[in-house]
């Protein structure tokens, strides 16, 4: 199901495990791994929180889209972990179409538990007094776009990294 011209692109809400799963899958498939957020930090020479704070979300989304396009169009096939908001752009969703896009999905309760441990790294949640309500709003705003963009969906609640990887490999016809 995967060819030598396609990237494997992970999408999903913040905290769902895109980087963790992507990194392990890339290791097992002997493909390069690219964490889009890490690439943004590297190229901008500042954290995502710093970008949001000094330039705002619209500037961040512009940079995110430019770097995503560069990676998807100019790199050899890789496993790419995107940020949770990548699907907000029509251009980004179009760039995903020729590639295999995997949606990792989890319940809001699971995501909330994971994200509260990393709240300082989540600029969209920093300013809100009710983080759970803000997460719920963002999640429901994005869910339809995630599902429309995905070639397949993997539910991650109560599953180990190994079982998620195995499920993905089965869907890709690699096992």
Q: How far apart are CA 81 and CA 11, in angstroms?
A: 7
Distance CA 9, CA 49 (A): 23
Contact 64, 83 (CB under 8 A): yes
Q: How far apart are CA 158 and CA 175, in angstroms?
A: 22
Residues facing 10 on adjacent strands:
81, 102
- Give the C-alpha distances (Å, rounded to integers) separating 16 from 63, 108, 151: 23, 10, 17
Query: Which residues sit in the known binding site for ATP?
Result: 15-20, 122
* Beta-bridge mates of residue 100: 8
Which parts are annotated binding residues for Mg(2+)? 19
Binding residues: 15-20, 37, 61, 84, 122, 142
């Amino acid at each position: 199901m995967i060819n030598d011209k396609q990237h494997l692109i992970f999408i999903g809400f913040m905290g769902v495990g895109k980087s963790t799963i992507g990194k392990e899958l890339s290791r097992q498939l002997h493909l390069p791994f690219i964490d889009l957020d890490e690439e943004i930090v590297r190229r901008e020479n500042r954290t995502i929180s710093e970008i949001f704070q000094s330039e705002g979300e619209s500037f961040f989304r512009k940079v995110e889209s430019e770097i995503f396009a560069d990676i998807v169009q100019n790199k050899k096939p890789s496993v790419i972990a995107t940020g949770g908001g990548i699907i907000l752009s029509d251009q980004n969703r179009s760039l995903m179409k020729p590639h295999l896009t995997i949606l990792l999905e989890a319940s809001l309760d699971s995501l909330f538990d994971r994200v509260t441990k990393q709240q300082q790294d989540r600029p969209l949640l920093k300013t809100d007094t009710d983080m759970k309500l803000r997460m719920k709003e963002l999640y429901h705003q994005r869910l339809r776009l995630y599902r429309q963009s995905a070639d397949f969906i993997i539910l991650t609640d109560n599953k180990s990294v190994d079982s998620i990887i195995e499920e993905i490999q089965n869907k890709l016809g690699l096992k």
